[in-house]
Structure 1
């Protein structure tokens, strides 16, 4: 049997801080190739990606897993009580950067897939898509894999993303969708002047203050059946002005909106530009707006895929996971354009933290759950 704990430890020891591959995909390709998976590196613009398939190409029933081996930086290494890339095991936990997010998830679905095809070769195919660019810009990771799959005639019928999905207790939650994310940067340009003669200046700080106050007070919606209300957060206001007797020439601000399926990134970008235009008209201060849409809101309606995952969790843990669309973005936002997708993984409590760690028993539980999902799908 493939040990998911040992595989997690081996992956944690690979220093794969985005965009470095660190040996993680090389390790996985060797393991999967040895189990009969057809593997191909799908690197793009320096981003490392791995595609692996067991079974016939284009088979009608193809279950997919998606995940990433890249990790965020360790931060202050001196603040860690262990080597961030040492994969120490103590107190029932495996410690290290990426232990939760998400080398344990990758190890669990790789181990489950390898053992499944060896023990009960399915009437169908299994595809694993593993990227090294989820924690970075994400433009050449899962997106590149899906682009290559479309060109090569490869397709998944359904996909599970192995991101940590449970807030506090193993098995309590799966993600059936995600909120969208749009960021906006505002630059107000006025006329610099002496504070004693404000009538000779056009104060961009006042304009930005009016704009951000108006945005912060907005109620975007009341939520939907599967989504909480959309939120807008002010993230910075900056003038770079070191003195108090000068009205500066410019001032900047930024906001981020996490939105539900009542909106699109484009509709919210238009709203932000309209609000900025209103304030510019009221104050006479020019305000420019730049926006970036990181992902659209999406939902995989409860159905066969979510029921399959819920049944596997209940059989293994005696817990029925709730459906959620909370949290940040994940690569499921790209997979949802390819096939139905849900997310289920470990407890997310320490992801990205100093002394990131995963309960060892949970890694084994996750492998067992993924094995039950495969068995149920190909039954």
Structure 2
């Protein structure tokens, strides 16, 4: 199958080794920027224009564009950062077996970045005229895209499609919908008092918080893909003091934009009412990733991808997943979006992270033809 590409499997594996050994943990700005410089050189050599979104705390985000990519083009989203600290490569080195490729970030998502580069290089060397492509590679996806979200949303506007390079599912599925998620912190301030001598003078923050949380958890609708879960709680100062303080962390997962809007409004409304008017309840936080909903535009992208895979005798299905990714941002703007286009693997974020070796060339060929079809 690699005769469809500009380089052999061995050359792709060697490039993947280079990418993996250029460690780029989210909190290692120097490492991410060094890896970014390598990518800049690779894509500039293919004729892409380069813009750099300079950051202070995280690595700089990169945007590669064809000359006509401003309007009505295709946005490709990937990330340069991994969850692994610098030095992990010493204890978890890149290695190759007959069936798998191992290493920190090998599937999430250094392998996808090799796939992207080889696909684009093949199209260039074959003399193909590319569609207006914008490639956005951010540096903070693994920590919630805290600085890159505005950039992603800005680049996504007016695009006709967004392609996201997270790895395929273990069974090879691509992703056409995802749940959105957020966290809320509910804090209650009460009044302390000696619990043995004059408890009536106190206002129990833990008791107030518990009553509030019962109401909030009742917002869950698991059958509709809406889950509201208390995941952490703390409070009190001593065993003989009416607690003047209590706090809870609430994880919320939603399947639709409407659910996201409604549940945040209801959480804030519940927290605005105090059972004991001597207490004060505060709520902070919100959603950091909107849901990626399955739309007709996404279905058209998926059907095109599936047909191309079928042409290469590869059976592919699509799925919904509960985890978040940067696909949520263009999808929430109404841009047809498809995710999970990378190679197949598993063990993400662990010292057993791997790529299924046969999927490396296979998914690169399919992706290359997918890009060529979008150009047409």
1:85-100 aligned within 5 A: 86-90=93-97, 92-100=99-107
After TM superposition, the score normalised by the length of structure 2 is 0.85
- Does residue 52 (structure 1) correspond to residue 64 (structure 2)? The answer is yes
| Alignment-derived partner of residue 40 in structure 2 | 29
After TM superposition, the score normalised by the length of structure 1 is 0.84
| Alignment-derived partner of residue 347 in structure 2 | 350
- Does residue 293 (structure 1) correspond to residue 287 (structure 2)? The answer is yes
2:75–2:155 contact (8 Å) kept in structure 1: no
The SS at the match of 2:343 is coil
**Deviations, residues 179-227 of structure 1 (Å, cap 9, x unaligned):** 222311111111112232432321111122222233334333632xxxx
**Deviations, residues 85-140 of structure 1 (Å, cap 9, x unaligned):** 73222453222221121111121122111111211412633332211121224243
1:120-269 aligned within 5 A: 120-122=127-129, 124-141=131-148, 143-144=150-151, 147=154, 156-166=159-169, 168-170=170-172, 173-196=173-196, 197-220=198-221, 222-223=223-224, 229-239=225-235, 241=237, 243-261=238-256, 263-269=258-264
Higher-helix-fraction structure: 2
1:203–1:249 contact (8 Å) kept in structure 2: yes
The SS at the match of 1:272 is helix
1:229-378 aligned within 5 A: 229-239=225-235, 241=237, 243-261=238-256, 263-278=258-273, 280-281=274-275, 284-302=278-296, 303-316=299-312, 318-324=314-320, 326-336=321-331, 337=333, 339-344=335-340, 345-347=342-344, 349-378=346-375
The SS at the match of 1:329 is coil
Q: Unpaired segments of 5 or more residues in structure 2?
A: 1-5
2:131–2:374 contact (8 Å) kept in structure 1: no
2:161–2:337 contact (8 Å) kept in structure 1: yes
The SS at the match of 1:353 is coil
Tell me: CA distance 1:354–1:284, structure 2 relative to 1, closer, same or farther (3 Å): farther
- 1:22: Cα distance to partner? 4.7
2:152–2:330 contact (8 Å) kept in structure 1: no
The SS at the match of 1:281 is coil
Task: Choose the corresponding residue for 2:26, options 18, 23, 31.
Answer: 18
Task: Please provide the CA RMSD for this pair.
Answer: 2.8
1:100–1:164 contact (8 Å) kept in structure 2: yes
Instruction: Count residues in correspondence.
Output: 359
